[in-house]
Amino acid sequence: MDFSLNEEQRGWQTEARKFAMDEIRPISMARDQIEGGFEPWDWGIIEKGSNLGFRTLAVPKEWGGPGADFVSQAIVMAELARGDSAISKAFSQNWKWSHLIASACTQDQKERFLKPFLADHRYVMGRGITEPNAGSDNRLPPEDDPKAGYRVRAVREGNEWILNGEKCFIANGSVGSLFFVDARTNPDVSIKQGGTLFMVPKTTPGFRVGKVFNKRGWRFYQNAELIFENARVPHANVVGEVGTGSVKAGKGDTTGGDLFGDLELAANALGVCDDACEMALAFAKSHKRAGKVLMEHQLVQLRINEMHALTEALRSYVMRVAWLHDRGEHSANAGLVMNYSTDVIQRVTRLNMEIHGAEGCAMHARVDKLVRDAMVWTHLAGDTVQRIKILRRLVKGAPAAAGISAD
């Protein structure tokens, strides 16, 4: 495998790194220290990044987007995360859903939703699946239990669907212009047969945003409740076919999840680890303990060695998965690298805190912020359900080594 970057990929890397250092890093801590809810959000940074193509990165060139490949996407995610992991996610969250529109939606839906997304720097998107009583079981619904999974109900009336229920912890929830919402169109069968995906604009009658959640990590990133009270959604906003569960239309994965979301989180973690490694090395070279520079202490040397080894292993894994995706070769590695990134980011950020000692434990220190941000991976990328889901993919015949040849 040749992981050397071409000219276009190096261009994206340079642009993203400059934006992260010049624009994201200077506001990162200030936004993080604002007490929760909507307030940490900053449209200014989103507009600046959108002007550079970071919001629309995955939109195909034929629709007027950058059409960046998976390697470029992974590089941009990692570079932006070196400035702030949550702000990086605010951009990349849009890539999978714009990708879904471009690859799986009808021409009419592309005209109504993809064109406005490209034209408006404040147009961001999210996916509404998690509910107060349905989270992890959405990922692994018991085959024989139609009651498992999300409960938001959709009933058809003529050319409209009436949605009722509540979603929670939804990404971009308080700021989104469009949401992909999973709802039950048949409550008597499992969500794989009785679930349908709807495109719900924020202006939909009967739809509103509820509570915006205050989190320990990723404070810039907006997670909120979505409330549906007889929300009227046109039948023309159904993605794919009614009752298809996870939408599988067009080529390959079109849910915006398995190919895109798994790699997204792993690449984001890589950027955080790069940041932590740089911080630890700089601190160890410039501070003294027990009469000598920290870097001269063997224990500190061993910790920095481990941090760099783990980070470089994650980099190789991320680049391998992205490289294979660009060649149309998909395997369980996409999920495995996501799981692995959870272990790496949490270990590397904690080692960074140990090296900084008391200074790293101080409130509002960047060292502390990285540890808090890393906690988010436990839920999103490395919980038991996520790991079992990937194991099942392996068992069903998607070997981790798929797509690897001798050359």
- Domains by residue range for the chain, with CATH: 7-119 (1.10.540.10), 125-239 (2.40.110.10), 261-395 (1.20.140.10)
pLDDT of residue 148: 82
The model carries a pTM of 0.91
Q: Is 392 helix (H, G, I), strand (E, B) or coil?
A: helix
Q: Please list the pLDDT of the chain residue by residue as tens digits (407 residues).
A: 777 899 999 999 999 999 999 999 999 999 998 877 788 899 999 999 999 999 999 999 999 999 999 999 999 999 999 999 999 999 999 998 998 898 889 999 999 999 999 999 999 999 998 999 887 666 666 666 777 888 999 999 999 999 999 999 999 999 999 999 999 999 898 888 889 999 999 999 999 999 999 888 999 999 999 999 999 999 999 998 998 875 443 344 444 445 677 899 999 999 999 999 999 999 999 998 888 999 999 999 999 999 999 999 999 999 999 999 998 887 788 889 999 999 999 999 999 999 998 877 776 689 999 999 999 999 888 778 778 888 887 887 655 544 433 33
Q: Which helix (H) or strand (E) holds 212?
A: strand 207-212
**Beta strand 288-289 pairing with 238-239:** unpaired
Q: One-letter amino acid identity for 84?
A: D
Q: One-letter amino acid identity for 125?
A: M
Q: Which helix (H) or strand (E) holds 199?
A: strand 195-201
CA 370, 136, 265, 241 dihedral sign is negative
**Beta strand 153-157 pairing with 125-128:** unpaired
Q: One-letter amino acid identity for 165?
A: G
Q: Is 357 left (phi over 0), alpha (psi -120 to 50) or beta?
A: left
Q: Is 274 left (phi over 0), alpha (psi -120 to 50) or beta?
A: alpha
The 10 Å CB-count burial string (b at 16+, else e) for 211-235 is ebbebebbbbbbbbbbbbeebebee
Distant-in-sequence, close-in-space partners of 241: CB < 8 Å, separation ≥ 6: 249
Give yes or no for a contact between 114 and 121, defined as CB atoms under 8 angstroms apart.
Answer: no
d(CA 24, CA 21): 6
d(CA 75, CA 88): 11
- Separation of CA 42 from chain center: 18
Q: At what angle do helices 261-286 and 298-326 cross, to 10 degrees?
A: 150
Q: One-letter amino acid identity for 357?
A: G
Q: Which helix (H) or strand (E) holds 233?
A: strand 223-234
d(CA 322, CA 285): 34
d(CA 331, CA 317): 13
pLDDT of residue 406: 33
d(CA 88, CA 76): 9
Q: What is the DSSP letter of 66?
A: -
Distant-in-sequence, close-in-space partners of 41: CB < 8 Å, separation ≥ 6: 31, 174, 175, 220, 222
* Residue ranges with strand state E in 35-188: 125-128, 153-157, 160-171, 178-184
Q: Tokens 């023309």 appear where?
A: 236
Q: Is 384 helix (H, G, I), strand (E, B) or coil?
A: helix
